[in-house]
Structure 1
Amino acid sequence: MATAKPSSLLSATLASGSSLVLLQLFSRVVTFVLNQALVRIVSPQVFGTTSIQFELLLSTILFLSREGVRNALLRAPSSARSSLDQTATARLVANISLLPILLGIPTAIISAFVYLGTSSMATSSQPHFRESVILYVLAAFFELLSEPMYIRTQNELRFHVRVRAEGTAVMLKTITTFLVLVGAPDNWALIAFALGQAAYGLTMLLSFVVACSDNLDFRPKRVTVSRKDHTETLLFEPSLFRLSVAMTGQSLIKHFLTEGDKFLVSRLSPLADQGGYAVAANYGSLIARIVFQPIEETARVFFSKALSASETSDTKSPGQSKEALQTAATVLLTLLLAFTHLFLLAVTFGPPYLSLAISLILPRKYLATSAPSILHVYVYYIPMMAFNGVLEAFLASAASPADLRAQSRWMLIFSGAFIGAAVGLARGLGMGDAGLVWANVANLTLRAMYAWSFVRRYFRGRNAVDLVGWRRAVPPLPVLTAFCTAGVVVRASAKTYANVPLNLVAQRWHLATGVASILGCLLTCILFERKTVLRLVNPLRKMR
């Protein structure tokens, strides 16, 4: 469990990131194709129950049980006490990795009973509702059983194990769900989704068992360590255990902020609109899940290892510490610069062409739901997900327990603001479910701003604040001007074609205008940002 150098760590995490992007591309394309078929087979009510309520139940069990421990143990190699040898540290970390299973049992039982007890009559009266809930809880427990093996493979940088496991699990989930829907009676629709999720969880568990078959002894064992004047017996590595407790305590607030829209939709909206919300979320977040989720997870791994290396080497090798900080800052700013371009691209070309895209991909029976209005808001929601994801990945990787407590206090404030904004926009201003997404945009913006302030404080405390100047994450003025000009052009074109039928032939010149404008923006970026990109990327190239 020795600390990796920034260069080798960066290479490993970049390989991990590309693998995870390919995994998400595969899994999301398969899921997208399946959903295109499913939304035409099942009713919006069934789709809303499974994709909003059952998925919320599943994510609640998993997130509250494992997220804090999982993030804390990413720091395992460099958080261990220097007086402990490698074998003792590995055993103590393995003990902590069992906590998600112990937390998962009461969390699953409580969550299931609360959900069953608070479900509306329209939801609970659906055929095989209770059996489906039990299967989703069982699926969650299968995944939790694999958590100790997942943590081991992540800390050993064996990212291919997860890629292979999730790829296989997604495929079996897809096949199982589709076959049961097609072959079973119509009243088995909920069971079909539940069996698919159970197949996913079981496949994940078996895949990790095979990958870790050389050592499956995860029984908790105490370790006796020698101190200067005494010996003591430990069950958990103390600093990692405290960090795990702090992050797990924070996960309840963070989970509500992450899934708050689903909480409110499941309580405030009828089942048909929940189905529309689920379809819009599946389509709207497709790019986010394919690209941004792997980037966020990879960044969390990299920042955890690199910043831990910086802290460890601070007194032993100031040069190595400075190198780790510079590499972390370069990676962070490169990602933020890329996401700024994404934001410009989305707000410039999204609104003028989204209505055409919706008419082409959205099933007709969902056009009368809240799905179209929600998809229009996703133009702004997706870039904010990207910004917040990578900034909070840095915060989670560098924060001390005291930092996490401070963040939790602010997140409580953000939670109150989110609830007020969501209810006010959705009900007070009559924006419906789209108002919930707008509230989430505001929530993500506040969280990203807080995380950025933490980044600045972190580097300032190490006399390296000059490494994270915000101007390095913003394109130059000619690029901003090009996007503004393109935005005016495509919106004028959209106004001209406002009464033209929404099909590719009738809108061909409007599409041609968009393509020409995108090419103009791309050419401007190449001309004016080549030096900026090279300045950010060159330090990474030198480490290869």
Structure 2
Amino acid sequence: MSSRGAVFRGGLFLFLQQLLSRGLTFAAGQVLLRFLTAQKLGLATQLEVYYLSILFFARESLRVAAQRQPIAPGPSLGSSSGATPEAETRSKDTSQSHSQHISQDPSQGDSKSSKAEQPRSAQEFKMCRSPSQTAINLGYIAVPLGAVVALVFGAMFRRVSTAADFVPLALNIYGIASLIELAAEPFFALLAARQQFGARARAESAAAIARCIGTLGAAYWASRAQIEIGVLPFAAGQLAYGIILWCVYVLHVWPLARDEGFSLLPRGGLQPPLDRGEQEQTYVVAGLFYKPAITLAASLQAQGIVKHFLTQGDTLIVSVLASPVAQGVYALANNYGGLVARLVFQPVEEMSRNYFGRLLAIGSVASVPSKDGGTEKDIARSNIKENDGKAVADRKDTVSKAAHDLAILLKIYLLFSTIVVAIGPVAAPPAIEILAGTRWAADGAGDVLARYCYYIPLLALNGLTEAFVSSVATEKEVHSQSLWMTMFSAVFGAAGYFFLEVADMQASGLVFANIVNMACRIVWSCAFISRYFLKEGVRFDLLALRPGIVASVACVGAPHVIRITAQMLLGNGVTNPLMRLAAMGVAAVPVVLAIGLSELSFLQQLYKSYQR
């Protein structure tokens, strides 16, 4: 199966998993809204930030580093026989004429001589005797990291949180749940390295079901027993999620470990890559980890501190500057508006990071200095230049393919964003009345969600562009990004203060502060992408992706046209939110058709590409 096909299938698996997971979470949230006040929802959101912070600092940099390691794929992307990497290694020992995953001259008869003659880029993909053990070992680093982060963040949260609504107990449960989920990270790393996305989708879907059952079960029991348990239902649901996730992952990887002979616990004795020369003894750290991955993860971790503040800083700022009611209103709008991002964009971003990282794999682990002072990426590129013209042409073809695929993804995102901006702001208020009730609408949640619709396109574009940056950036470029992120965090804080304190816009002001922050990050990422392709000698025109005149006009004028048309269809005095939303849906059909017709040539090209 081609790399692009595997990524498409993986993205489909994750999309379906997200559809089930978020659908269940959405349904559970709709029920819980009947039991919750805005203040409780605000507290639950703060606890979720604590939980997500533990997971982010413990595993995010490790996941990126693991995806950029040249680890041999598993059966899903392996040979037609479906052999595993370890099984193929044993087969090669007995039959040296066996075809390999990595392209190799079939005329070479002696395995030792063939290894010596392989270019370094090919050797990197044959790093170790057990690629599976490499992934397992790397994943276990997340557990002690998570324990430290949980203790530090837990102490900080207790100093500023209230003791009401069982917050201290819920905080402890969230911490335990995060460590259980991190204990499954080695198994996630193994399945991700093999690109076995179906197993991951099944595990996360089962865990999502358990979370819904745990949350609703606790809330229903408390309601029947007439006991006030505050935010404990959310904590119970998260604990159930972690337990089921770990159990399902173990059920998937246990047979693999038994059949292939690797351990589900950390095991030493990893072998360095071939032909490492003087670096051979220092390339492996403690016999467990590869130094490039560890160094890159450490570099990304430093950047992650700033990035996480930018990602979750909205909740931190609103908890300091906004009232409890405003916190709950923003949390509700963020949950509904962010549902689109989590359902559609997150799987695409993860697959893009994996796809581009492996497609442009030469020099991707660029953090280990060579003995002459260069980096791994410098060595890999110099080796390409020293090869014949075909190698240079192949490299350029690969980068051109990446540029083409990235352009298609960005264009799809822009078209989708056009529809969201054209329809979302006018449809948000009646949608909130239907989904959350008139009480939440009276608190201004509909207006906040309407403004959030302008933030969704920026959220999508930033996720995709930063996914590409993380796939190809060198260590030096990651440090540069960290400095810019620090500047953007200051801009975000200043914007938040202005909109929340000076302009007194409460939850809506936080949406505008996020828009300012996200726009800064997108500009930086786009500039990086342009420079990257320019250095590779490939043309990448970002301006060519901009929407046409029809789509641009739709973004500005469509909300007013839809609102006026809906009023004409219903007449004056109709207040039923369902009827208003239905009328807006009818009025939006011509807008969507106009946008589609204006981009018909691109859609036809996309369809032909999909057929191929």
Q: Deviations over 1:68-116 (max 9, x none)?
A: 1111110111789649643166545543322211211111111111101
Letter in 2 for 1:457: R
Q: How many residues align?
A: 526
In structure 2, what is the equivalent of residue 232 of structure 1? 281
Aligned positions of 1:207-222 closer than 5 A: 207-213=248-254, 214-215=256-257, 216-222=263-269
Please give the alpha-carbon distance, in whole angstroms, between the structure 2 residues aligned to 1:247 and 1:262.
23
1:47 is matched with which residue: 36, 41, 45?
A: 41
1:531 is matched with which residue: 573, 576, 601?
A: 601
Q: Does 1:357 align with 2:351?
A: no
Aligned positions of 1:294-309 closer than 5 A: 294-308=347-361
Deviates more, 1:188-197 or 1:26-35: 188-197
Q: Does 1:202 align with 2:243?
A: yes
In structure 2, what is the equivalent of residue 438 of structure 1? 512
In structure 2, what is the equivalent of residue 502 of structure 1? 575
Please give the alpha-carbon distance, in whole angstroms, between the structure 1 residues aligned to 2:571 and 2:504.
25
Question: Does the CA-based 8 Å contact 1:333-1:472 persist in structure 2?
Answer: no
Long gaps (5+) in structure 1: 1-6
In structure 1, what is the equivalent of residue 141 of structure 2? 99
Q: Does 1:73 align with 2:61?
A: no
Letter in 2 for 1:517: P
Question: Does the CA-based 8 Å contact 2:306-2:482 persist in structure 1?
Answer: yes
Aligned positions of 1:388-399 closer than 5 A: 388-399=462-473
Q: Post-superposition shift, 1:224?
A: 5.2
Letter in 2 for 1:243: L
Partner-residue secondary structure (3-state), 2:268: coil
1:168 is matched with which residue: 198, 206, 209?
A: 206
Question: Does the CA-based 8 Å contact 1:426-1:436 persist in structure 2?
Answer: yes
Question: Does the CA-based 8 Å contact 1:266-1:274 persist in structure 2?
Answer: yes
Please give the alpha-carbon distance, in whole angstroms, between the structure 2 residues aligned to 1:83 and 1:167.
32
Letter in 2 for 1:350: G
In structure 2, what is the equivalent of residue 28 of structure 1? 22
In structure 2, what is the equivalent of residue 86 of structure 1? 128
Letter in 1 for 2:515: V
Please give the alpha-carbon distance, in whole angstroms, between the structure 2 residues aligned to 1:398 and 1:230.
23
2:295 is matched with which residue: 222, 235, 242?
A: 242
Please give the alpha-carbon distance, in whole angstroms, between the structure 2 residues aligned to 1:458 and 1:102.
36
- Percentage of matched positions with identical amino acids: 29
Please give the alpha-carbon distance, in whole angstroms, between the structure 2 residues aligned to 1:365 and 1:391.
38
Question: Does the CA-based 8 Å contact 2:303-2:478 persist in structure 1?
Answer: yes
Long gaps (5+) in structure 2: 72-120, 258-262, 365-379
Letter in 1 for 2:195: L
Please give the alpha-carbon distance, in whole angstroms, between the structure 1 residues aligned to 2:582 and 2:236.
47
Letter in 1 for 2:197: F
Please give the alpha-carbon distance, in whole angstroms, between the structure 2 residues aligned to 1:230 and 1:471.
45
The TM-score, its normalising length taken from structure 2, stands at 0.80
In structure 2, what is the equivalent of residue 3 of structure 1? none
In structure 2, what is the equivalent of residue 125 of structure 1? 164
Question: Does the CA-based 8 Å contact 2:18-2:343 persist in structure 1?
Answer: yes
Q: Deviations over 1:43-64 (max 9, x none)?
A: 32222211x1110110111101
Letter in 1 for 2:218: V
Q: Does 1:275 align with 2:345?
A: no
In structure 1, what is the equivalent of residue 12 of structure 2? 18
In structure 1, what is the equivalent of residue 548 of structure 2? 476
Letter in 2 for 1:109: L
Question: Does the CA-based 8 Å contact 1:352-1:490 persist in structure 2?
Answer: yes
Please give the alpha-carbon distance, in whole angstroms, between the structure 1 residues aligned to 2:147 and 2:171.
15
Letter in 2 for 1:204: L
Please give the alpha-carbon distance, in whole angstroms, between the structure 2 residues aligned to 1:386 and 1:505.
28
Cα 1:80–1:429 change in 2 (3 A) is farther
Answer with 1 or 2: which has the greater Rg: 2
Question: Does the CA-based 8 Å contact 2:39-2:325 persist in structure 1?
Answer: yes
Please give the alpha-carbon distance, in whole angstroms, between the structure 1 residues aligned to 2:188 and 2:67.
11
Question: Does the CA-based 8 Å contact 2:425-2:449 persist in structure 1?
Answer: no
Please give the alpha-carbon distance, in whole angstroms, between the structure 1 residues aligned to 2:332 and 2:581.
27
1:287 is matched with which residue: 333, 340, 345?
A: 340
Letter in 2 for 1:339: Y
Aligned positions of 1:510-529 closer than 5 A: 511=584, 514-522=587-595, 525-526=596-597, 528-529=598-599
Please give the alpha-carbon distance, in whole angstroms, between the structure 1 residues aligned to 2:458 and 2:133.
39
Question: Does the CA-based 8 Å contact 2:421-2:555 persist in structure 1?
Answer: no
Letter in 1 for 2:542: W
Letter in 2 for 1:308: A
Question: Alpha carbon RMSD of aligned pairs, Å?
Answer: 2.7
Letter in 1 for 2:236: L
Please give the alpha-carbon distance, in whole angstroms, between the structure 2 residues aligned to 1:58 and 1:431.
28
Question: Does the CA-based 8 Å contact 1:292-1:386 persist in structure 2?
Answer: yes
Please give the alpha-carbon distance, in whole angstroms, between the structure 1 residues aligned to 2:152 and 2:122.
34
Question: Does the CA-based 8 Å contact 2:431-2:581 persist in structure 1?
Answer: no
In structure 1, what is the equivalent of residue 312 of structure 2? 259
Question: Does the CA-based 8 Å contact 1:45-1:271 persist in structure 2?
Answer: yes
Please give the alpha-carbon distance, in whole angstroms, between the structure 2 residues aligned to 1:86 and 1:162.
24
Q: Does 1:413 align with 2:487?
A: yes
Deviates more, 1:96-105 or 1:349-358: 349-358
Please give the alpha-carbon distance, in whole angstroms, between the structure 2 residues aligned to 1:518 and 1:44.
35
Please give the alpha-carbon distance, in whole angstroms, between the structure 1 residues aligned to 2:135 and 2:122.
9
Cα 1:351–1:76 change in 2 (3 A) is same
In structure 2, what is the equivalent of residue 114 of structure 1? 156
Q: Deviations over 1:383-440 (max 9, x none)?
A: 1111101000000111111011000000000000000001110110011121111111
Q: Deviations over 1:301-334 (max 9, x none)?
A: 1111111159769556334323322222222111
Question: Does the CA-based 8 Å contact 1:483-1:521 persist in structure 2?
Answer: no
Q: Deviations over 1:217-236 (max 9, x none)?
A: 32241435474368526223
Please give the alpha-carbon distance, in whole angstroms, between the structure 2 residues aligned to 1:139 and 1:351.
37
In structure 2, what is the equivalent of residue 38 of structure 1? 32
Q: Deviations over 1:313-372 (max 9, x none)?
A: 955633432332222222211121112122222222223333222332222222343523
